[in-house]
Amino acid sequence: MRIGVVSVMQETNTFCAVRATMEEFVPHVRRGEEILATYAGTKSGIGGFLDAARAEGLMVVPTYSARATSSGLTDTRTFDSLTAELVEALQAALPVDGVLLALHGAFAAEGVPDADGEIARRVRDVVGPHVPIAVEVDLHANVSRALVDCVDVLVGYDTYPHLDIYERGSEAATLLARRLRGEIRPVLGWAAPPLLLVPQAQFTSQPPMADLLAEAHRLEREPGMLAVTVSGGFCYADVPHAGFSVTAIADADLSRAEAAARHIAALAWGRREDFAVHNLSVEAAVARTVAAPKGPVILVDVGDNIGGGGPGDGTVLLRELLKAGAKGAVVNITDPQAVRAAIAAGVGAEVAVTVGGKVDGRHGPPLPVAGRIRAITDGRYVNKGRFMTGVPVYMGRSVVMEVDGNEMLLTERKTAPFDLEQLRSVGIEPTDRQIIVVKAAIAWRAAYEPIAADIVEVDTPGVTSTDLRAFGFVHLRRPMYPLDAGVSYEVP
């Protein structure tokens, strides 16, 4: 049987001032056999698709894949171009007996708030009503009713940090194979309580998310149940369908699937107050960090979470660290202008540049610094840790600058701190540093938690702040907890 493999992935922070253009996707566009060359043998979702499909005796037909780092809305021209090429590639692959579709689940474009649902609809239009579609989504997916109605199987990550992307891709492919052989007839139940969670609240190694997932896994072990996906949602998307949801799959028993989804949704609603997050102020966090007897101390810049749409150019922690006389700190700043100036000066040069704070002013003002350029690289590395193992990463041209006994990694392209190779690729050994600033929420833990002497999560400002009342939601369904008082949820 011929199985089309398709993917378009982006997590959209609608409060981010930077639109996602084709330039953001181009480095990660793969067509046809390029998909196999890039993802075969990797611990990615597509890698899971490929291995499981082949193990099930299915013929993989790679068509089109594209992804981009989380940012603002994708502009109309880019979305139209991505989907047009996707449709064309899938049409060229026909006939197919099934489709494996990798989505993020929180993708939005100008005029298309549910871009994932729209992509699934277009795939459905190409293959017709009887060809099964299995989709894998991120744990932060804002799963819509429209998406659920378009697909036959929906499987989401169970971990945050996302360490089971490969396994969930394999699971989706295995369920598709069983559906094609007539062994199962999957039906989907879905529930979405009015619950908006910040990423930190979705850490799956701690309650309440750990408890919800344990219950989901218990349900999965019951006869007739195929999968239960707990989606924490992505709160920084001002779209009607944003928020927590549960998708349950049963074998030919819709009432059972719906009951399972409602059960987990009700448990989550009952624990809603337990999802509260409390971080230290910038001043208190830096004071604790500088006083630490040994490192590395991981200083978490939550408000400029690159993986959640932050611009990566926040200067609040860098400024406070320099003010406090910190030594041995590593801070990553995305700033193409500063990179160009540093490259023009050359390795070994003493330069004065103004770094960060150039995108939107929400993450601290530009900061003048002076120091020595120690290294210039092409910004390329391959993930070697537990997250997306084997997948290549491109930071753009990158510069290491020494400033008052600390190191700045200046990059042209924002790059989330998901792997220690990010620092090692530019000559910085993270285990030898006293302080490492990570612009993230939870995903950094896969790489940095094993080497951390201490972890300090900081209440920094920005487009990924944990204060949801600071965001001007317009399109989000209301009322919504915790934004509104007296919100109730009657389990359907």
pLDDT tens, residue by residue, 338-394: 999 999 999 999 999 999 999 998 999 999 999 999 999 999 999 999 889 999 999
Q: Do 351 and 341 meet the contact criterion of CB atoms below 8 Å apart? A: yes
Residues 181, 124, single domain; the answer is yes
Query: pLDDT confidence of 485, banded at 50, 70, 90?
Result: very high
Residues 69, 207, single domain; the answer is yes
Residues 304, 200, single domain; the answer is no
Please indicate, yes or no, if residue 63 is contained in any of the structural domains.
yes
Please indicate, yes or no, if residue 473 is contained in any of the structural domains.
no
Please indicate, yes or no, if residue 489 is contained in any of the structural domains.
no
Residues 408, 376, single domain; the answer is yes
| Rounded Cα–Cα distance for residues 124 and 119 (Å) | 9
Q: Do 196 and 245 meet the contact criterion of CB atoms below 8 Å apart? A: no
Residues 168, 295, single domain; the answer is no
State how far the alpha carbon of 113 is from the alpha carbons of 118, 253, 309, 388, in Å: 9, 31, 16, 27
pTM, full prediction: 0.96
Q: Which two tokens mark 221?
A: 């072990």
- 52 pLDDT higher than 90: yes
Please indicate, yes or no, if residue 472 is contained in any of the structural domains.
no
* The total number of structural domains that make up the chain: 2
Residues 302, 245, single domain; the answer is no
Please indicate, yes or no, if residue 479 is contained in any of the structural domains.
no
Helix (H) / strand (E) containing 321: helix 316-323
| 177: DSSP letter | H
Q: What's the CATH code of the domain at 69?
A: 3.40.50.2300
| Rounded Cα–Cα distance for residues 391 and 165 (Å) | 12
Please indicate, yes or no, if residue 68 is contained in any of the structural domains.
yes
Q: What value does the mean pLDDT take over residues 88-117?
A: 98
Residues 26, 170, single domain; the answer is yes
Residues 287, 269, single domain; the answer is no
Residues 296, 441, single domain; the answer is yes
Q: What value does the mean pLDDT take over residues 456-469?
A: 97
Residues 347, 448, single domain; the answer is yes
- 491 pLDDT higher than 80: no
Residues 289, 196, single domain; the answer is no
Residues 255, 365, single domain; the answer is no
Please indicate, yes or no, if residue 491 is contained in any of the structural domains.
no
Query: pLDDT tens, 222-237?
Result: 999 999 999 999 999 9
Domain limits for position 397: 282-465
Please indicate, yes or no, if residue 487 is contained in any of the structural domains.
no
**Sequence-distant contacts of 348-356: CB under 8 A, at least 24 apart:** 348/372, 348/373, 348/374, 349/373, 351/401, 353/401, 355/313, 355/315, 355/318, 355/408, 355/410, 356/313, 356/314, 356/315, 356/318
Q: Which two tokens mark 462?
A: 């920005």
Dihedral angle of Cα 114, 71, 80, 127, to the nearest 10 degrees? -50
Q: Which of 207, 242, 275 is the last residue of a domain?
A: 275
